Amino acid sequence: AQKVTQAQTEISVVEKEDVTLDCVYETRDTTYYLFWYKQPPSGELVFLIRRNSFDEQNEISGRYSWNFQKSTSSFNFTITASQVVDSAVYFCALSEFMDSNYQLIWGAGTKLIIKP
């Protein structure tokens, strides 16, 4: 069963539009962590945010914001006033305890294309 679902395979918007990337996860744990990473066309993976299951406060960092809702098992990512440099693949990941340690389970990613 897929534990992290990023249903949007690809999103294309025009620069300055707002865009939301969805992430739905599945876990039986009460303690877990959620992450977002960015993979620009150059290929490296860049950490964006970590959220633990006990902290449901929304987070804002500049044009980026994250909405964590345990009730719907979602951890969505919004970019406000998108820019061409935001073009990348964005991954959501769930850290879950399995086989005596925590392991990251990754979503398939959402490719975001920002057109000028």
Partner 1 sequence: NAGVTQTPKFRVLKTGQSMTLLCAQDMNHEYMYWYRQDPGMGLRLIHYSVGEGTTAKGEVPDGYNVSRLKKQNFLLGLESAAPSQTSVYFCASSLMVNQPQHFGDGTRLSIL
Using alpha carbons, select from 53, 51, 49, 45 the residue that is nearest to residue 88: 45
Counting every residue written for the chain, the total comes to 116
Contact stretch for partner 1 (CB under 8 A) within 21-29, 55-63, 76-84, 105-113: 105-113
Paired with 98 in beta bridges are 101
Strands 88-98 and 110-115: antiparallel
Q: How far apart are CA 46 and CA 14, in angstroms?
A: 23
| CB closer to partner 1, 39 vs 73 | 39
| CB closer to partner 1, 11 vs 15 | 11
Q: How far apart are CA 68 and CA 31, in angstroms?
A: 14
Site for partner 1 in 26-85 (CB under 8 A): 33, 35, 43-47, 50, 52
Q: By CB under 8 A, tell whether 1 contacts partner 1.
A: no
Among 66, 86, 95, 112, binds partner 1 (CB under 8 A): 95
Residue 72 beta carbon to partner 1: minimum distance, rounded to whole angstroms: 21
- How many binding residues for partner 1 (CB under 8 A)? 25
Q: Would you say 58 and 68 are in contact if contact means Cβ atoms under 8 Å apart?
A: yes
- Interface positions with partner 1 (CB under 8 A): 4, 9, 33, 35, 43-47, 50, 52, 91, 93, 95, 99-109
